[in-house]
Amino acid sequence: MTHAIVLLKADRNALADLGSQLADIPGVAEAYSVTGEWDFATMLRLREPDDLAHVVTETISQLPGVTKTQTMVAFEVYSRHDLEALFSVGE
């Protein structure tokens, strides 16, 4: 599985609708509206590494109002949620 974080900048007039559009994209696990230099941060979880290029370049960056993206691929994933699920005995 490939995990990535994609940061997005968007036109002001696209901000209201962009979060829900991002969340509807297959492979986008979460989409956050954030403060600071970027407008949105998305967490991608993809089955195949080749899916990353498709999701970012052919889908996310083509949404109306998206002006810039920055993609960071995760080497390792650390998550309390994943650890809890791993050691869960069906509670």
Residue 79 reports pLDDT greater than 80: no
| Structural domains in the chain (count) | 1
Question: Residue 70: which pLDDT band, with cuts at 50, 70 and 90?
Answer: very high
Q: Is the model more confident about 86 or about 11?
A: 11
Residue 91 reports pLDDT greater than 60: no
Where in the sequence is the domain holding 47, given as residue range(s)?
2-87
Residue 83 reports pLDDT greater than 60: no
Q: What is the CATH number of the domain that holds 77?
A: 3.30.70.920
Which H, E and C letters describe 50-84, residue by residue?
A: HHHHHHHHHHHHHCCCEEEEEEEECCCCCCHHHHH
